[in-house]
């Protein structure tokens, strides 16, 4: 029951009823029981006294605590709730408790959102030094050969099943320059094993691959020449052959060989010739360094035969997409190993003269 403590004190004094002191219920080992001099009231008697004196129970509405009142240790008893703890019908203790003020919920700090949906007060720290490099090459830019590849100038001739895959994969490594040669246009039949889409049909193969390189890589130094590579065309130190006939291969190789013949041995060591050959279930790659005179002669003698000596293949069994992708990857792998070896690594990268893969038996064969 909640009542005003001032009224209760006045009534009890008029009735000669006194509350016991705080230590009245405490006992000690040496004390002797004495008669309790204080009058005790039951709940019913207390209710009757309150009713006879015209007192009513206080409203259930709790008094609010004013944080500006009672500074220091002062207590304003007018705003105190009094609870009577009862034991056996007797008033034993009086507890004074101040109402606990409700805590205000913390307000979230409002943040203005800009048109870029970024908070105005958001501070974006500077990223690592990777911001200073091309993000499109960060997966392999830490490789020891990466910077050297960016100095390479490469010619790829024959942009079919071999050349299209080689050119695209090379472009993702961002060499200094990439020159493409082919005089053919994209046809529907080319989509089976070559890297073209239906949107490219009727377009020059070199232009279609150049556009793909532009859209899917950050390579920009691409020269697309819609023409055959002939003996009067300018050769380069690194030349990659993707032709499907022996006559074009011989012209391409002779141009490279003549180009390096007047160079010093050290300069020739920086020159590379790759020749890819592809059928439905077999691929072959010939890899020749400019300073490897033995394999230069071997290539001319054993692998530059006439077209009529080449294995005849059925037109509907000439090429598969997976082998075209595979030979492109392997030729770029050999090019990368060649560049890595120019840095004189402790353990040289393998660079076999002859690589062959038999898809039917899944068998690799290499010869140095």
Q: Please indicate, yes or no, whether residues 94 and 175 belong to a single structural domain of this protein.
A: no
- pLDDT category of residue 107 using cuts at 50, 70 and 90: low
Q: For residue 307, what pLDDT is reported?
A: 73
Q: Please indicate, yes or no, whether residues 83 and 149 belong to a single structural domain of this protein.
A: no
- Per the structure, the complete domain to which residue 50 belongs is given by 1-22+37-61+74-100
- Report the percentage of the chain scoring pLDDT > 70: 60
Count of domains for the chain: 2
Q: Please indicate, yes or no, whether residues 195 and 315 belong to a single structural domain of this protein.
A: yes
Q: Please indicate, yes or no, whether residues 186 and 237 belong to a single structural domain of this protein.
A: yes
Query: 43: which 2 tokens?
Result: 């709940």
Nearest to 137 by CA among 172, 168, 165: 172
- In three-state secondary structure terms, 239 is strand
CB 305 within 8 A of CB 246: yes
Within a domain: 283: yes
Query: 346: which 2 tokens?
Result: 């402790």
CB 165 within 8 A of CB 195: yes
pLDDT in tens, 60-82: 444 444 544 444 444 444 444 44
CA distances from 213 to 67, 165, 172, 184, 202 (A): 73, 11, 8, 18, 18
Q: What is the DSSP letter of 36?
A: -
Lowest mean pLDDT segment, chosen from 47-61, 133-147, 253-267 = 47-61
Q: What is the DSSP letter of 157?
A: E
Looking up tokens 């101040």 gives 98
Within a domain: 28: no
Query: 46: which 2 tokens?
Result: 């207390």
Within a domain: 57: yes
Please measure the distance between the N-terminal and C-terminal CA atoms of the chain and give it in whole angstroms: 105
Within a domain: 29: no
Q: Please indicate, yes or no, whether residues 314 and 212 belong to a single structural domain of this protein.
A: yes
């Amino acid at each position: 029951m909640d009542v005003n403590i001032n009224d209760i004190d006045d009534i009890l004094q008029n009735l000669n009823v006194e509350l016991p002191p705080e230590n009245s219920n405490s006992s000690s080992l040496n004390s002797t029981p004495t008669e309790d001099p204080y009058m005790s009231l039951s709940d019913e008697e207390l209710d009757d006294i309150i009713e006879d004196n015209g007192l009513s129970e206080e409203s259930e509405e709790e008094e609010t605590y004013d944080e500006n009142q009672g500074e220091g240790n002062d207590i304003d008893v007018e705003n105190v709730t009094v609870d009577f703890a009862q034991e056996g019908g007797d008033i034993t203790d009086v507890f004074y408790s101040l109402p606990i003020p409700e805590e205000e919920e913390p307000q979230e700090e409002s943040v203005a959102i800009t048109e870029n949906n970024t908070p105005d007060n958001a501070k974006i720290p500077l990223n690592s030094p990777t911001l200073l490099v091309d993000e499109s090459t960060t997966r392999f830019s830490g490789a020891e050969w990466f910077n050297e590849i960016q100095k390479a100038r490469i010619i790829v001739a024959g942009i079919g099943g071999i050349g299209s895959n080689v050119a695209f994969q090379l472009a993702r490594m961002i060499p200094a320059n990439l020159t493409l040669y082919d005089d053919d246009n994209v046809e529907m039949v080319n989509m089976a094993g070559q890297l073209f889409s239906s949107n490219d049909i009727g377009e020059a193969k070199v232009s279609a691959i150049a556009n793909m390189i532009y859209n899917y890589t950050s390579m920009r130094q691409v020269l697309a020449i819609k023409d055959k590579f002939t003996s009067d065309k300018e050769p380069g130190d690194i030349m990659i052959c993707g032709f499907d006939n022996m006559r074009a291969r011989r012209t391409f190789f002779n141009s490279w060989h003549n180009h390096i013949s007047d160079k010093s041995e050290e300069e020739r060591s920086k020159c590379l010739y790759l020749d890819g050959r592809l059928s439905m279930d077999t691929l072959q790659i010939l890899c020749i360094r400019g300073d490897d005179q033995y394999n230069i002669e071997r290539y001319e003698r054993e692998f530059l035969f006439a077209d009529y000596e080449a294995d005849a293949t059925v037109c509907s069994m000439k090429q598969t997409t997976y082998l075209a992708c595979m030979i492109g990857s392997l030729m770029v792998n050999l090019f990368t190993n060649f560049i890595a070896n120019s840095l004189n690594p402790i353990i040289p990268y393998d660079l076999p003269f002859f690589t062959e893969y038999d898809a039917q038996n899944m068998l690799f064969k290499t010869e140095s």
